[in-house]
A and B are shown apart, each in its own frame.
Chain A
Amino acid sequence: GNSVTQMEGPVTLSEEAFLTINCTYTATGYPSLFWYVQYPGEGLQLLLKATKADDKGSNKGFEATYRKETTSFHLEKGSVQVSDSAVYFCALSTLMDSNYQLIWGAGTKLIIKP
């Protein structure tokens, strides 16, 4: 079946460090892939997306490349800030019962220390 696997958290980094949060997926067909961010006590916000193989999504210094050969969509940022502390969710869009649904990873908590 379709699934999304994210690296377990929490991930703790110092400010200005390089960030990678791994996300791999299992899906039939050609899903669209998304990264969402959730700040404490809030809902989820779309961070970036990619809709086909080799697409690179980017936003706010974050990037992720849709790698079909490795079924991955790893999130990266070159220099993190304290304000990036949040929970990050990877998700894929898949056709289920004739409707497109999002399949979610478990989330990765990111803690950035000053």
Chain B
Amino acid sequence: DGGITQSPKYLFRKEGQNVTLSCEQNLNHDAMYWYRQDPGQGLRLIYYSQIVNDFQKGDIAEGYSVSREKKESFPLTVTSAQKNPTAFYLCASSPGHPRSYSNQPQHFGDGTRLSIL
């Protein structure tokens, strides 16, 4: 079955530590996204990537970094500069180039819940 796999499901970060969240998709989608979700709130865009080796900042990119070395993979690093990292992180992908397909839905993984130790 095609889909998006996020790992781990739960992650704990110590003070001053960088942690990396994995996101892999086998949908052959060009575009991938990282969102942050806080309790009782909607989704906020952290980073997105339209194509391999290219990515753009979203609304809340500070304290986060990404890479897109392969089409199927879009890992997110939560750095020590992110002072309030406790949240639910969602990875998504969509087919085609974002400029061409305004009606294409995004497909989501099951999320990673990050907490501070």
A interface, CB within 8 angstroms of B: 31-32, 34, 36, 41-46, 49, 51, 89, 93-95, 97-102, 104-107, 109
Contact A42 B111 (CB under 8 A): yes
Secondary structure at chain B's binding surface: helix, strand, loop or mixed?
A: loop
Q: What secondary structure prevails in chain A residues at the interface with B?
A: strand
Q: Whole-angstrom distance from the CB of B54 to the nearest CB of chain A? A: 11
The residue from B90, B99, B102 contacting A31, defined by CB atoms under 8 A apart: B102
Contact present for B90 and A51 (CB under 8 Å): no
Binding site for A on B (CB under 8 A): 4, 6, 40-43, 45, 48, 50, 56, 90, 92, 98-99, 101-111
Closest 5 CB pairs of A and B: A43-B108, A32-B103, A51-B103, A104-B42, A106-B42
Q: Give B89 Cβ to nearest chain A Cβ, in Å.
A: 10
Contact B42 A99 (CB under 8 A): no
Given contacts A42-B111, A43-B90, contact A102 B42 (CB under 8 A): no
Taking a contact as CB atoms closer than 8 A, the residue among B40, B56, B102 that contacts A100 in the complex is B102
Q: Report A-chain residues with C-beta under 8 Å of the C-beta of B4.
A: 43
Q: Is the CB of B103 within 8 A of A49?
A: yes
Question: Would you call A101 and B42 a contact (CB within 8 A)?
Answer: no
Q: How far is the CA of A31 from the CA of B101 in the complex (A)?
A: 11
